[in-house]
Amino acid sequence: MADILKSIVRTADLIKTLIFYKRSISKLLGVPQKEINSVYAQLYASKFFMDIKQKVKVPLALYYLSMLSPLRAPLLYLICRITKPEIVVETGVKDGFSSSFILFALEMNKKGRLYSIDLPNSQGQELGPDKDTGWLVPEELKPRWSLILGSSDSKLPALLQDIGKIDIFIHDSDHSYQNMIFEFKQSWGYLKAGGYLLSDDITDNQAFADFVRLNGCINSLRLFKSGIAIR
Ligand SMILES: C[S@@+](CC[C@H](N)C(=O)[O-])C[C@H]1O[C@@H](n2cnc3c(N)ncnc32)[C@H](O)[C@@H]1O
């Protein structure tokens, strides 16, 4: 019974978020809703999007819960198209949905670089033996990409020290409270003023809520399971 109730609440939350998300994002990013619509429309009409859809074949019933939902990988595309970042860092690559959509945005912007950290395939990946980390990323988008294999606690501090200031950080690796706080703290120190901290699966625990409360972000937003905070 408790599980059925939880699932009803989650579905209601998803529907409510989907109805209002463009208005919320438009407010957060400070751009008219018209611009948000036009960036999404451009993405959905692109060959890039058709090719990804073709490769992953998400069943229609699961579309809004998948990485192709406008609230997930396409949201990363939108934020990168609107904010035009120089440097984006993400943890958690797996198939490479997030990496592909960010890289497509950087390519459309004609500037920027993405640094991605994930464990080597053998350690904890759920990809299966025939797939490499980030297998979805189109070859032509790889020149703007650095993929670093290792755990975020071993690779993130040195990477950030090496690249210096960043525009966007995206967490989607190990969602334990401890690791989320670790990655948020590490990246926050390197985020430019007005930079974006994004996290997937913020409803798994209180890490994002605690971090936002304790670190004086200028603005923050929860969109279903994702969180966005502005430094
Ligand atoms: C939810 S998936 C990422 C999905 C990806 N963002 C996408 O859009 O397809 C989580 C990934 O985090 C990686 N991961 C888990 N623990 C990690 C850690 N401590 N450091 C780095 N990556 C980790 C896993 O190997 C897995 O590929």
Q: With contact defined as beta carbons under 8 Å apart, do 190 and 166 qualify?
A: yes
Sheet of 166-171: strands edge to edge? 145-149, 113-118, 87-91, 166-171, 191-199, 226-230, 219-223
Please state the rounded mean pLDDT for residues 162-184. Answer: 98
168: left (phi over 0), alpha (psi -120 to 50) or beta: beta
For the CA of 127, the nearest atom of ligand 1: 27
Q: Is 196 helix (H, G, I), strand (E, B) or coil?
A: strand
Mutate to test the pocket of ligand 1, among 69, 75, 118 (most ligand atoms within 8 A of CB): 118
Please state the rounded mean pLDDT for residues 200-213. Answer: 95
Is residue 186 within 6 Å of ligand 1 at its C-beta?
A: no
Q: 169-205: b or e for each residue (b if 16 or more CB lie within 10 Å)? A: bbbbbbbeeebbbbbbebbbebbeeebbbbbbbbbee
Please state the rounded mean pLDDT for residues 198-222. Answer: 93
Q: With contact defined as beta carbons under 8 Å apart, do 169 and 129 qualify?
A: no
* Beta-bridge mates of residue 136: none
Ligand 1 geometric centre to CA of 210 (Å): 22
Model confidence pLDDT, tens digit, residues 87-137: 999 999 999 999 999 999 999 999 999 999 999 876 556 676 678 899 999
- Looking at the chain, the whole-number percentage of residues with pLDDT higher than 70 is 97
**pLDDT class of 11 with cuts at 50, 70, 90:** confident
**pLDDT class of 216 with cuts at 50, 70, 90:** confident
Q: Where are the domains of the chain?
A: 2-230
Angle at 187 between CA 70 and CA 222, to 5 degrees: 35
Mutate to test the pocket of ligand 1, among 75, 168, 174, 201 (most ligand atoms within 8 A of CB): 174
For the CA of 95, the nearest atom of ligand 1: 9
What is the CATH number assigned to the segment(s) 2-230?
Answer: 3.40.50.150
pLDDT at 4: 84
Model confidence pLDDT, tens digit, residues 147-167: 999 999 999 999 999 999 999
